[in-house]
Structure 1
Amino acid sequence: MSQHHEKVLERIRLGLVYTETEAAFQAPQRRTEEIFEYNHTPPGDPGRRRALLEAILGSVGERTVLLPPFHAGFGSNVHLGDDFFGNVNLTFVDDVEIRIGHGVMIAPSVTLTTTGHPVHPSRRADFGRFSEPIVIEDKVWIGSNAVVLPGVRIGYGSVIGAGSVVSHDIPAMTVAVGTPCRVLREITEEDLKTRTAEG
């Protein structure tokens, strides 16, 4: 790798603005063709789907379900833990890493975007952008149409309400909702009693 490429990668790592031209050397890491094939693989061929998922993603755990179609800028920067469930129209804007733990459930039409753009239009020339990794810890549930923005960490066991825009870290074992997403309450033992035959 050239010194120029190393300098660009360091700027990306620091969350500084970089351009499409500067990052073009990363194009071979994109899994565009494999994602297209995955999204068009018949549901009756789970073996082929699994093989494609292993070829697309940076890492993938056991018993993973990712319903097509899904979308990713790279795919290779996404890491999924065991027992992951991703519903239809999940979008990964994975210019840098998205790390998802074990037992995570994601509802339809959720966007996880590691990348944003500068506010001033002159800094968006050549698709100027910045990227920060996303971390979703174990046992998180993200509701439909939620958007998780660059640099966010969602803590263990938390629930993100449908339609939320998550722009800041969410602590473990909380319910968080809204635009911008805010903690509504903690998850407690009382939640074990809801929607049961005895409850």
Structure 2
Amino acid sequence: MTKTERQKMQAGEWYCCLDSELSALRHQARVAVHQHNTAPPDPAEILSPPLAALFAGHGENCLIEAPFHCAYGLNISLGSSVYLNAGCTILDTAPVTIGDGTMLGPNVQIYCAQHHKDRALRAQGLEIAYPVTLGSDVWIGGGAIILPGVTIGDGAIVGAGAVVTRSVAAGQTVAGNPARPRNGWSGQ
């Protein structure tokens, strides 16, 4: 049996992102994101209903500030008390898991897709997706970029503007481009 492009994406294989089923799923996400981003502020709302319905899962007391953007939403799982500041983007072509108590500063970007290096295949829409995992009580500074396949361990800190190309150990602090360990750095 031939796999669909969505099945290939979910299996971590090369797939064509120009597929009609994937386009429909991205449209569904854009609708939910638009509803979230244009909703009037309501202090009683923690996680907006459109995003709560879209995501794979979420714990209690999660807050996502507008504006927010995601590619599919259905690959995003949030623990409890997760906070995403304004301008965060999650391109969730693979599972993105964010643990309890994790905080993302403004304009943090999480990317799962890697486009093909062969330009002819890239022009055909071929890409592959790698999961991104943020442990519990992680702090990601504003403007940081998390690349495909990265895992950030519990309690780690990523400095503002960092580009995280490799996994980060639990409790470790990294900063810079590319992000490197910073011993004794307070993150300020």
TM-score, length basis structure 2 = 0.88
Does the aligned pair in 2 maintain the 1:53–1:60 contact within 8 Å?
A: no
- The structure in which a higher percent of residues are helix is 1
> 1:65 and 2:63 equivalent?
yes
Matched, 1:34 2:11: no
- 1:24 paired with 2:48, answer no
Do the aligned partners of residues 157 and 48 (structure 1) sit closer, same or farther apart at CA in structure 2, a change above 3 Å counting? closer
1:79 aligns with 2:77: yes
1:56 aligns with 2:58: no
CA–CA separation in structure 1 for the residues paired with 2:182 and 2:46:
42
- Label 1:13 to 1:77 Cα distance change in 2 as closer, same or farther (>3 A): closer
Q: Which residue of 1 aligns with 2:113?
A: 115
**Contact 2:46 / 2:62 at 8 angstroms: preserved in 1?**
no
> Could you tell me how far 1:35 is from its partner in structure 2?
1.0
2:180 maps to amino acid: R
Paired with 1:124 and 1:20, the residues of 2 have a C-alpha distance of 10
- For residue 183 of structure 2, give the secondary structure of its aligned residue in structure 1: strand
CA distance in 1, matches of 2:3, 2:11: 14
Deviates more, 1:121-130 or 1:12-21: 12-21
The runs of 5 or more residues in structure 1 that have no matched partner are none
Deviation at 1:28, TM superposition (A): 4.5
Cα distance between partner residues in 2 of 1:134 and 1:85:
17
Instruction: Give the aligned length.
Output: 185
Could you tell me which runs of 5 or more consecutive residues in structure 2 were left unpaired when the two chains were aligned: none
Q: Aligned AA for 1:113? A: Y
Q: CA contact under 8 A between 2:69 and 2:88: conserved in structure 1?
A: yes
Q: Select 1:90's aligned residue among 84, 88, 91.
A: 88
Normalised to the residue count of structure 1, the TM-score between the two structures is 0.84
Q: Aligned Cα RMSD in Å?
A: 2.3
Deviation for aligned residue 1:34: 1.3
Give how far 1:17 is off.
2.5
Q: How far apart are 1:11 and its partner, in Å?
A: 4.1
Q: 1:34 to 1:170 in 2, by over 3 A?
A: same
Is the CA contact 2:47–2:61 (under 8 Å) kept in the aligned structure 1? no
> Larger C-alpha radius of gyration, 1 or 2?
1
Instruction: Give the C-alpha shift of residue 83 in structure 1.
Output: 0.6
Residue deviations 1:66-121 (CA, integer Å, cap 9, x gap): 00010001111111110111000100100111000000000000100101112221
Q: Distance in 2 between matches of 1:73 and 1:153?
A: 20
